[in-house]
Structure 1
Amino acid sequence: MTCRNCENTLRTDFSFCPDCGSKIIRNRLTPKSLTYDFLERYFNLDNTFLKTLWHMIIKPEDVCGGYISGVRKKYLNPVSMLAISLTLSGFVIFLTKKLAWSEIDFSKISYAQTSSGGAGTEKIMSATMEYGSLLFLFYIPILAFASFVFFNKKQYNFAEHIVTAIYALTSFGIIGSLYAIPTLFISPQFYFETAILYSLAMVLFCIYVSYKNSKDSIKSLFWRIPMFLFIFLIGYMGVSVLTFLALFITGEISIQDFKS
């Protein structure tokens, strides 16, 4: 028999290909086998998913630093983490639109008010939400740059800080979905009113990951954290401006949405 992935010749008793490491599949897919493969890949404690999430909380330097140094089997890779996070993010947006939207009083969301009141806020937030996954991706280089400048005692290059930023953002996003999903069911209004605090918690978690991965002194955090936040704020404002320009160009919002 031959490996279907690399076409290497195999013995009939092999369970894995010795050349490429692929698992030998002998049977057709069934609902049972498909479910097992999914659960084994992402939720088996002996595998990587839950271990990656847990270690990103207690020792993120092992996850990020390990991947950067070449440890690729112990934890889930950043691309897979990104895929899971974007999927969950899409599900949260779906729930928001289909379940929670009609229950929200947009006139009470203070951090996103326009002069036209709740109607303008609702339209702008709805349009922005459509690009939520893209905006999530834009935050990765911003956080990586801030980390590269202010948390780089180990002299990682920018690409390696990209890895750290992906792990930090996706881990927070996945864990945060445990808060977002039930909150949308219980109190959509509370979820939206506290969204700014959720975003702040996300940035602070990214700072924590960058600090743990860099091993800078605790005393230096008094100036590193404000500078990190300053760089992120500039990047955030830049992304916000570009987002509004894109929404104006595409006609999804207009100047009328800001008039009372």
Structure 2
Amino acid sequence: MENSMEKSEDLQPQPVYPRLTIEEIKTEVLSHLYLEKGLLSTFISMLKRPSKTVEIYLHGNRRKIQNPFRYLIIGVAFSTFIMLANPSFRNYISNIQQSSKGNYDQLDAATGLSFYEKFTQAQEIYMSYQNLVLTLAIPLIALVTFLFFRKKAYNFAEHMAINCLVFGTIYWLSGLFSLVTFFMDYSFIIYLSWFLTFAIGTYLYWKVFSINIFKSMLSILSAYLAAMVVGIFFQIAVFLVLLIL
């Protein structure tokens, strides 16, 4: 009886699974790298047709555009990685920290606390966690553009998406610029980097919001100021936590 059951099981057709293909491997790799929805094409499209790209995401087929928040996070991570790997940047930051060491030494001697050590640790954390800082800053940046361009009929959530695309593009371009100038003196490159990020931010706001250049410059400057305020508060909070621990 058992033999007949075994034979009947052997005679049952075995399931046929599809063969692994190069196309399937490619899809899985792109999905793992978050490129399946056109990260590169979104970056290029934001440089060439920023207004149209934004409109496609907000009112068209969103599947054609990389998710704005993911686009921003990956761009910031890429830029931060290149920046922190640059020995010239490390030397630049070290020189800045050393220049302020004398003031902290006086505080350390007066209070018995390690102000300088905690200050440098807070700066390291701030630079390493740019993703978190920008995530916290985006709502405030969105508020800036929401107030600047109230007549554009974008709601607050749409302003957040727009600024994720804008600042994502800025960080992607900044990362590529840092990669190209990797072996150059950072004390000189930093000024070019500031000019580049300001220029591209002005251009993107100008195109996306259809405004004049002067208003675009003023609004991107305000957006950078908002991001800077969040960054300062982040460093202060981290510094105080480290001081307490």
TM-score normalised over the length of structure 1: 0.64
User: Measured at CA, do residues 214 and 231 of structure 1 come closer, stay the same or move farther in structure 2, by a change above 3 Å?
Assistant: closer
- Show the counterpart of 1:116: 102
Alignment of 1:70-219 (within 5 A): 70-89=60-79, 91-92=81-82, 95-96=85-86, 100=87, 104-106=91-93, 108-109=95-96, 114=100, 116=102, 125-184=123-182, 186-187=183-184, 190-191=185-186, 194-195=189-190, 197-199=192-194, 201-216=196-211, 218=212
Whole-Å separation in 2 of the counterparts to 1:86 and 1:244: 18
Contact 1:142 1:232 in 2 (8 A): no
How many angstroms does 1:213 deviate by? 1.7
How many angstroms does 1:82 deviate by? 2.9
Contact 2:146 2:156 in 1 (8 A): yes
Give 2:218's aligned amino acid: P
Structure 2, unaligned runs of 5 or more: 1-16, 106-115
Of 137-146 and 53-62, deviating more is 137-146
How many angstroms does 1:157 deviate by? 0.8
Q: Secondary structure at the match of 2:152?
A: coil
Q: Deviations over 1:172-218 (max 9, x none)?
A: 2223222223433x13xx336543653453344233222212223x3
**Larger Rg computed on CA atoms:** 2
Greater relative contact order (Cα 8 A, min sep 6): structure 1 or 2? 2
* Larger helix share, 1 or 2: 2
Structure 1, unaligned runs of 5 or more: 1-24, 254-260
Q: How many residues align?
A: 216
Q: Deviations over 1:115-152 (max 9, x none)?
A: 538x9686554242132221222332233222222234
Instruction: Give the percent of matched residue pairs that are identical in Structure 1 and Structure 2.
Output: 23
Contact 2:138 2:227 in 1 (8 A): no
- Show the counterpart of 1:16: none
Give 1:245's aligned amino acid: I
- Show the counterpart of 2:11: none
TM-score normalised over the length of structure 2: 0.67
